[in-house]
Amino acid sequence: MRAQGAPSYVLIMWLMSKQSELELTDKQVETAVDRLTSFFVRRNLTGYPPTYALAKLFMTTIDAVGNARGDEVLAVVSERLNSVSASDEEFRARLVGRIYEENTDVTRFVLATLAEDAMTKETKVDLWRQEKNHFVWTIEHILPQGENLPSAWQEMLGGPEAAMQVQEEHRHRLGNLTITAYNSNLGNKSFMEKRDRQDSKGRFIGYRNNLSLNTELATRDSWTADDIDSRTTSLADMVIKRFPLP
């Protein structure tokens, strides 16, 4: 659901209803769902295959299973998904581009997933909690996305004109994004203020909040185009590894 994979529900429900007949273990069903999730992360970012083709894809996948059983069913599902999915190269091209403009929901999903993967039972936080029908945790632009960039940012980026160019080219890239429950408290503040921001009780609510996505940010003293490039490449590698299509 969070990966916007509702069109595949017909296949998932069929696999569950026929689980015994298809000789599928619970783990194998979970694996199928994982592969569908990977497929939709890729599909909803690249736009391929087109929306109109999705219903047919999953109905024909059901037909293609035929006499397959167990791991053979997973092989059929994977082959069908791979045959129509964007390649890793195409996926990467979107990941390192202006991903926030391409699809904010996919962007939030991949950021939240990467953060969740690093959590333990003791550090687990519900990144999907909502209040008044709005997510508490939202996407934060490290280099602010709005106009009238504060002077501290302009100085860090080499002056007003250079700062404007960096902002235009890099603000919506994966490396310039994280998630926070305190977006309104960070806003247009300087990088150092965002990094060290605390609440009224002295608890870190900026980039030193122990969220794994912010580990690199917590040790930085500046944030430039090169830094965004580097973090974009690193996060893109993590996303491709996290959402594979074997």
pLDDT at position 214 is 94
Is the confidence at residue 9, as pLDDT, over 90? yes
Is residue 92 situated within a structural domain? no
Q: For residues 183 and 213, state if they share a domain.
A: yes
Q: Which of the listed residues 57, 86, 115 is the one where a domain comes to its end?
A: 86
Segment 219-239 shows an average pLDDT of: 97
Least confident of 24-38, 81-95, 186-200: 186-200
Give the C-alpha separation, 100 to 130, whole Å. Answer: 21
Is residue 103 situated within a structural domain? yes
Q: Which of the listed residues 34, 51, 86 is the one where a domain comes to its end?
A: 86
Give the C-alpha separation, 133 to 114, whole Å. Answer: 23
**Nearest CA-CA partner of 140 in 93, 172, 165, 97:** 172
What is the H or E stretch that residue 23 is in?
none
Is residue 194 situated within a structural domain? yes
Whether 187 contacts 140, CB under 8 Å: no
Q: For residues 77 and 119, state if they share a domain.
A: no
Is the confidence at residue 156, as pLDDT, over 90? yes
Is residue 221 situated within a structural domain? yes
Is residue 91 situated within a structural domain? no
Q: For residues 104 and 20, state if they share a domain.
A: no
Q: For residues 74 and 103, state if they share a domain.
A: no
Q: List, for residues 44-73, the tens digit of each pLDDT value.
A: 999 999 999 999 999 999 999 999 999 999
Give the C-alpha separation, 221 to 152, whole Å. Answer: 12
Segment 1-28 shows an average pLDDT of: 97
Q: For residues 102 and 73, state if they share a domain.
A: no
- Band (pLDDT 50/70/90 cuts) for residue 186 is confident
Is residue 93 situated within a structural domain? no
pLDDT at position 129 is 95
- End-to-end CA gap in the chain: 21
Q: For residues 114 and 230, state if they share a domain.
A: yes
Q: List, for residues 102-150, the tens digit of each pLDDT value.
A: 999 999 999 999 999 999 998 899 999 999 999 999 999 999 998 889 9
Q: For residues 68 and 184, state if they share a domain.
A: no
- Tell me the CA distances in angstroms from 64 to 30, 121, 165, 181, one per residue in order: 20, 40, 51, 45
Residue spans of alpha helices (H) in 85-224: 88-95, 99-102, 104-117, 151-156, 160-170, 183-186, 191-196
Segments forming the whole domain that contains residue 150: 98-242
Q: For residues 159 and 110, state if they share a domain.
A: yes
The fraction of the chain above a pLDDT of 70, given in percent, is: 100
Q: Which of the listed residues 28, 51, 86 is the one where a domain comes to its end?
A: 86
Q: What's the structural domain count of the chain?
A: 2
Q: For residues 122 and 238, state if they share a domain.
A: yes
Q: List, for residues 211-223, the tens digit of each pLDDT value.
A: 999 999 999 999 9
- Band (pLDDT 50/70/90 cuts) for residue 183 is confident
Q: For residues 22 and 134, state if they share a domain.
A: no
- Band (pLDDT 50/70/90 cuts) for residue 184 is confident
**Nearest CA-CA partner of 39 in 102, 106, 98:** 106
